[in-house]
Structure 1
Amino acid sequence: MAVTPFETELRTRAGDVVRADVYLPEDASGPLPVLLGASPYQKSLRRLPPHPIFPFTEYGPIQFYLDHGYAYVAMDLPGTGRSEGTWDPVSRQEGEAVHDMIEHVAAQDWATGAVGMIGMSHYCWSQWNAARTRPPHLKTIVAYDGATDMYRDWMYHGGIPTQGFFSSWLFGSVLMQHQLNGIDFHTGGKDRFVYDALSHPFDDEWQQRRSPFWELDQVDIPVFSIGVWGKASLHLRGNFTGYERVTGPKQLLVAHPDSFAGAQRYFFDEDFHRTELLPWYDHHLKGADNGVMDRPAVRFYVNNEGTYRSAAAWPPPDAQTTAFYLSGDRSGTVTSLNDGSLTSSPPTAGPDSTSWSYPDPQWAAGVTVFDADGRPDHTARVTTFTSEPMDCDREFTGQGVLTLHTSTDQQDLDLMVSVYLVPGSGTARPTRVSQGWLRASQRAEVPELTSPLRPFHAHTRAEPLTPGTVYELRVELLPMSFLAHRGDRIRLAISNHDSPIADAPLTHFYGQKVGTDTYHHDDTHPSTLQLQERPR
């Protein structure tokens, strides 16, 4: 980058000295609106190019915004980089530190006083986090690819502790990068976070303090929330719930990138910023009358169709509930533990159930096994239920829930659920279009936050199961949008374990699970996959 930044600092209300780099256009002749990004990824590392090998480069195209008349401020969060204090990720106190930096830069002579926030992933966490503290000079956020509820969105999926992402993010992007720059692991208490997170397996005060979700209903500034289908297991849920919770002018865009690397590349695509983000910032920070608020409230990319569609709200108001019922009848479409079916009619007879034991003796890489040629097979040793071919094109857009009647010979069980679109012709492989997780002992729901197609689990305590007793469990599925063409099928896969090949980096700790689980699907226990479907 040609422009050399200068450093600014302040002492926060907590007494920490925090520092940020300020980038100004070379030809700046007066005060400018400010875009601020905040992360623990060391502002000094902006010399590194955006690349999947550097997943923490999430700040966006700085020079692009300088060229369009903005100042850019890159802040090291407390306890990271050049900022002092204790690193307490996404805590409310961290949000207050960003609040204080916003007010500090708004008062500088090079700033107009209008501040927006920018950045993806952790930078997006900082946006939600600062917004809930309501800084007077924060005029808007563009929350690209960022969770709002650290417990449910990624740390403890359905109450099940994640493992892969937690270690790769914490050690690879934060701790070891600081060590390379001569900053010890222990400085700022950065090493404490792993122990603290593992010490809080329920959604207690420690967890809720770092989940902006609980206060976003107080946020009334304009919010543009941008989710990415390819980051579904980490951030996508937060972009939807964040959009739904805030109360001011707002829009939701769910973009097409289908991978973690694709989401990063897209955020550095200047055409994307020119089309989507720049008009939003120009309107809310410069007062430009550019019609950006006339765009549809919700826009989303329909997977397997390759086009964007729009709606007045999420879920789309015209979406209706479609039910698929689990059946023990063989579908004849896949090699799996049971090869069950999904039917359009509820079961009329019983009993009917599917039992399986774990750990499966053939699992090789998590649930994945390998054929004679070394090709991975992710479904051969899990339970599956597959529909009949679609008799016409059908769009499934909105929320989803799996209601599963289960029993076990243990005192607990885990459910890891995937929904796949199975092509009806050609050699294309099934594509995952949604997923969900639930630990049965944490099945209790919060009524005021629960809807028929989206259970909101409390996760405040464990209620052990009685072996042999059948329980109705409701698994929240991540938001989805896909087109099933005529001849395509929908497949449901269920296990209690995942695959480091198919599910990385959001894999989960297996623990000490040994036992037999049974999924019941008869007239007394109609286990059901419910999806929202839009008319075509």
Structure 2
Amino acid sequence: MVDVNVTPFEVEVRSRTGNLLRADVYLPSSGDGRYPIVLGASPYQKALRHLPPNPVFPFIEYGPIQLYLDNGYAYVAMDLPGTGRSEGTWDPVSRGEGEAIHDMIEHVAVQPWSTGSVGMIGMSHYCWSQWNAARTRPPHLKTIVAYDGATDMYRDWMYHGGIPIQGFLNTWLFGSVLYQHELRGIDFHVGDKHEYIYDVLSHPLDDEWQRRRSPFWELPSVDIPVFSIGVWGKAALHLRGNFYGFERVRGPKKLLVAHPSSFAEAQMYYFDEQFHRDELLPWYDHHLKGIENDVMKQPAARFYVNGENTYRSAASWPPPDATPTTFHLTGTHSDAVTSLNNGSLTEAEPDSEQDSTSWSYPDPQWMAGVTVFDKHGVPDHVARVNTFTSPPMDRDREFTGHGVLTLYASSDQTDIDVFVKVSLVSAEPDAGLPVKVSQGWLRASHRAENPELTSDMRPFHQHTSVEPLVPGEIYELRVELLPMSFLARAGDRIRLELTNQDSLITDAPMTHFYGTKVGTDTYHHDRGHPSTLRLHERPRT
């Protein structure tokens, strides 16, 4: 059970749309005073706050309430419209939902127990609520600390590269929202919560419906202080949003990318009181209480370097000293792994006039997505995918920043799904499985880029129309890779994996709908079609 030493009381406010919104208020037990507020908003029912943070309760994301009470803050926990005890229609991360949070912020800010200074708190969906409310610019909202939360709902998690998410959408919607309401006697038809999955599937392009649910587009209007905290272990769900959120807001801002390497670790880290004392409390103290401390003297960007297992910092993201390094895909065998092709990555430009890799799908040996099992039942995640592996590094090399795969591809079908994974393969014999350090996805019919937002190292795809392929023609595809930071030590290798679906073991819960894909794709990597993996690299001293 979560230990909170005070009993909350409920407040109500009528929103601008006429819905009655409700929140629980926790006040410090030290006396009757006026306190700055940290406010969290989610569809996960404030009535469930007694549950402990645990991977079996992934929706417990509000952080250590008692710690904030002990440090002189009021904590407000809000049920979003159409969920818990709040009226209305559940419309996740819509602008209307942001406006409802706005109305609650302005209501609690003028209560006799409030100083009028409000910050927002919480991870994942609570973080979505922070980005969402901030774009509506409530006058009393002074800061947000956005831990582990997307900003572009279409690109960050609904449709990776135009490919629909399946695994997470189902487990999140049913496990964290719908069934939890049913358990408390609230029919999930109330608030039209059951309609959401149909809405998502009915909008496969980045249309107006999607735009209203993506704070990304309005973040340049946010001028309050923002502390964006990403987590490497939830890269496929939220990490891109934390980087873009940091980049696009225009007020005082800092970026931290923390070390937890899984969904479960990210949740438990957010309940680590020492983490809050070190990072979040000083930020709130400065921006909500006016306490002079050193939070704004911190470097603009701090990040955990995987493989080196230490934190480093930079004056911006990507770091100013990061420059692109190019690895070329070749058909030459690397002798590093058993896979469909066992290709190589090389820093030398291709000199072959013809060099390509063809493969057919679905592979008859696939068992758990792309994962296969040997006769002893041991899983192998790369035996039936395409790989391109570098030679052992001749020195320690740090890759920190963005990455892009430029892939020349053709198919006997009218579309290609490209699933990209970049892994660090340790030279240490007891190191275990390779560590995934980045990944990306692209449906070839969604290859058109937005010229205003795309860049050399970070393509930004339009996703506003579908352009089918002509079978047999070669197309240049640029796949955005998620931000990364890792140290490849001398002797380590970098491995690129290419396929068209997930491993249901290593990629869960962020798995995608496979559909009815049957065909043969070809990746071209010759002199006229130089397919490349480009990664930002920092000099090592």
| Alignment partner of 2:224 out of 205, 221, 225 | 221
Q: Quick one: which amino acid aligns to residue 504 of structure 2?
A: P
**1:97-147 deviation line (CA, Å, top 9, x unaligned):** 000000000010000000000000000000000000000000000000000
Residue in structure 2 matched with residue 51 of structure 1 by the alignment: 54
* Aligned equivalents of 1:44, 1:261: Cα separation in 2: 22
1:435-494 Cα shifts (integer Å, max 9, x gaps)? 000000000000110010000000001000000000000000000000000000000000
- Paired with 1:421 and 1:47, the residues of 2 have a C-alpha distance of 40
1:458 equivalent in alignment to 2:462:
yes
Q: 2:446 aligns with which of 435, 439, 442?
A: 442
* Percent identical: 75
Structure 1 residue 15 displacement after superposition: 1.0
**Superposition deviation, residue 185 in structure 1:** 1.3
Provide the secondary structure at the position in 2 that maps to 1:47.
coil
Pick aligned residue for 1:106 from 106, 109, 119: 109
1:331 to 330, 334, 348: 334
Structure 2 distance, partners of 1:351, 1:283, is 61
Aligned positions, number: 536
Unaligned runs of 5+ in 2: none
- For residue 398 of structure 2, the aligned residue among 389, 395, 413 is 395
CA offsets per residue over residues 416-437 of structure 1, 9 Å max, x none? 0000001113132211000000
- Which deviations, in whole Å up to 9, do the C-alpha atoms of 1:60-112 show, x marking residues without a partner? 00000000000000000000000000000000000000000000000100000
Q: Distance in 2 between matches of 1:20 and 1:506?
A: 31
2:407 is aligned to: 404
Measured in 2, the distance between the counterparts of 1:175 and 1:506 equals 19
CA deviations 1:131-188 (Å, max 9, x no partner) are 0000000000000000000100000000000000000000000000000000001000
Structure 1 outlier segments of 4+, above 2 Å: none
- Post-superposition Cα deviations, 1:315-372, rounded to whole Å, max 9, x if no partner, equal 0000011000000000011010000000111101221000000000100110000112
Matches within 5 A, 1:198-209: 198-209=201-212
1:377 aligns with 2:380: yes
1:163 corresponds in structure 2 to 166
Does 2:486 correspond to 1:482? yes
Q: Distance in 1 between matches of 2:188 and 2:144?
A: 31
**Structure 1 Cα separation of the partners of residues 283 and 295 of structure 2:** 6
Q: Distance in 1 between matches of 2:391 and 2:294?
A: 45
Q: SS at 1:447's partner residue?
A: coil
Looking at structure 1, the residues matched to 533 and 491 of structure 2 have their Cα atoms a distance apart, in angstroms, of 19
**Offset, 1:375:** 1.1
Give the whole-Å Cα distance in 2 for the aligned partners of 1:29 and 1:45: 27
Amino acid in structure 1 at the alignment position of 2:444: A
Aligned equivalent of 2:325, options 322, 325, 343: 322
Given candidates 339, 345, 354, the residue that maps to 1:351 is 354
For 1:449, what is the secondary structure of its paired residue? coil
Deviation at 1:28, TM superposition (A): 2.9
Q: What SS class does the counterpart of residue 326 from structure 2 fall into?
A: strand
What's the RMSD between the two structures over aligned residues? 0.5
**Residue correspondence of structure 1 range 101-180 to structure 2 within 5 A:** 101-180=104-183
The equivalent of 2:311 in structure 1 is 308
Structure 1: gaps (5+ residues): none
Which residue number in structure 2 is paired with residue 274 of structure 1?
277
Which residue of the other structure, out of 411, 426, 430, is the alignment partner of 1:427? 430
Cα deviation, residue 500, structure 1: 1.1
Q: Which amino acid aligns with 1:291?
A: D
2:237 is the alignment partner of 1:234:
yes
- Residues of 2 paired with 1:398 and 1:375: CA distance? 34
Given residue 357 of structure 1, which amino acid in structure 2 is its aligned partner?
Answer: S
Equivalent position of 1:283 in the other structure = 286
Distance 1:375 1:206 in 2: 44
Q: In 1, Cα distance between the equivalents of 2:451 and 2:503?
A: 33
Name the stretch that deviates more: 287-296 or 120-129. Answer: 287-296
Counterpart of 1:182 in structure 2 is: 185
2-structure distance, mates of 1:18, 1:425: 56
Once residues 114 and 90 of structure 1 are traced to their aligned partners in structure 2, the CA distance between those partners, rounded to angstroms, is: 23
SS at structure 2 position matched to 1:104: helix
Q: Paired residue for 2:522?
A: 518
The one-letter amino acid paired with 2:211 is: Q
Task: Give how far 1:30 is off.
Answer: 1.4
Residue 73 of structure 1 aligns with an amino acid whose one-letter code is V
TM-score normalised by the chain length of structure 2: 0.99
Aligned AA (1:261) = A
Match among 515, 526, 535 for residue 531 of structure 1:
535
